[in-house]
Amino acid sequence: MTPDGNRTPVLALQGVAHWYRTLEVVTPTDLAVHPGEFVCVVGPSGCGKTTLLRLMAGFLLPTTGSVLDSGEAVRGPDSRRGMVFQQPHLYPWLTVRENVEFGPRVLGISARQRREIAESYLKLVKLSEFAHANVWELSGGMQQRVALARVLANEPHILLMDEPFGALDALTREHMQDELLSIWRRTGTTVVLVTHSVEEAVYLSTRILVCSDRPAKIIADLDVPFSRRDVDARGESRAVKADPGFVTFREEVLQYIWK
Ligand SMILES: Nc1ncnc2c1ncn2[C@@H]1O[C@H](COP(=O)(O)OP(=O)(O)OP(=O)(O)O)[C@@H](O)[C@H]1O
Ligand SMILES: [Mg+2]
């Protein structure tokens, strides 16, 4: 708790700026992400969204300012902050289950326990029957679900996702959006997700951050007026996205990007 009674943010940026040599990519930014939020970050290509996410993960350290995880300074990557990339980046020499067991193995968890962990997360992403498959035998969407299970097996308290569905076809992408919403509802994990798609952002998130052109600055911080938290989205995503309230809000968000 902070002195004013608010919960400590899962992740906070305090005056965070980033320069690649002489190129300013992120201007001094303040941000607090609270437990259970689903935050989507949208903005023009090349504006600095991936850089922002890498700063949150600890893969990059800010040029100025600080990133705080539960009030403590981030000094490098940590399995408690799980990162999912546009490409699944699985280990091709390991089976599906071995990929998911990888994090718990590194953490020194016993063979029996990590098998249980892997099985429970493979079930969550609906891939139990592919546990013994080679990863290169799976479709792109299935590989991305393995990547998600592999990150979830570390039980991160925040999931950082960089265009995780960007490489998928439209139908698989819609299916994955509903999978992610369902996982978010069941695990209560905090999520920060970068996407090019404003529609995806409005569909998934509780809050949308719109970034300016490079150097990235948060020009709008919007609460999404309808939350997918309490509903079973399966089978109704088309209807939700066609709803007049949804379309109006999506257009409002787009106005910030086109300005
Ligand atoms: N490692 C690096 N070294 C130097 N410049 C970099 C590096 N990574 C990114 N940049 C530059 O920083 C700027 C922002 O890149 P970043 O990848 O964060 O943007 P982005 O918003 O994620 O773009 P996109 O929407 O295309 O994914 C770009 O101009 C890019 O060329
Ligand atoms: Mg990017």
In this structure, which residue's CA is closest to atom 17 in ligand 1? 50
Question: Is this prediction's pTM over 0.85?
Answer: yes
**3-state secondary structure labels for all residues of 22-33:** CEEEEEEEEEEE
The encoded tokens of residue 174 equal: 């819609």
Atom of ligand 1 nearest to the CA of 194: 22
At which of 119, 138, 155 does a domain end? 155
- The pLDDT of residue 52: 97
**Does residue 235 carry a pLDDT above 70?**
no
Choose the residue to mutate in 18, 50, 218 for probing ligand 1, maximizing ligand atoms within 8 Å of C-beta.
50
Could you identify the residue written with the tokens 């969204």?
A: 49
Residue 119 shares a structural domain with residue 187: no
Report CA(259)–ligand 2 centroid distance (Å). Answer: 21
**166 and 138 fall within a common domain:** no
In a domain, 229, yes or no: no
Q: Confidence class of residue 259 from pLDDT cuts 50, 70 and 90?
A: confident
**What phi-psi label fits residue 151: left (phi over 0), alpha (psi between -120 and 50 degrees) or beta?**
alpha
pLDDT band at 64 (very low <50, low <70, confident <90, very high): very high
What pLDDT shows up at residue 169?
87
**86 and 166 Cβ atoms separated by less than 8 Å:** yes
Range of the domain at 95: 89-155
**Cα(134)–Cα(175) distance, rounded to whole angstroms?**
22
Ligand 1 neighbours (beta carbon < 6 A): 20, 23, 25, 45-51, 214
CATH code for position 10: 3.40.50.300
pLDDT at 206 over 80: yes
140-152 vs 96-106: helix crossing angle, rounded to 10: 20
Nearest to 184 by CA among 40, 13, 11: 40
In whole numbers, what is the pLDDT of the chain averaged over residues? 92
Q: What is the pLDDT of residue 129?
A: 97
Q: Angle at which helices 140-152 and 170-187 pack, to 10 degrees?
A: 20
User: What mean pLDDT do residues 137-166 have?
Assistant: 95
Instruction: Mark whether 75 and 176 lie in a shared domain.
Output: yes
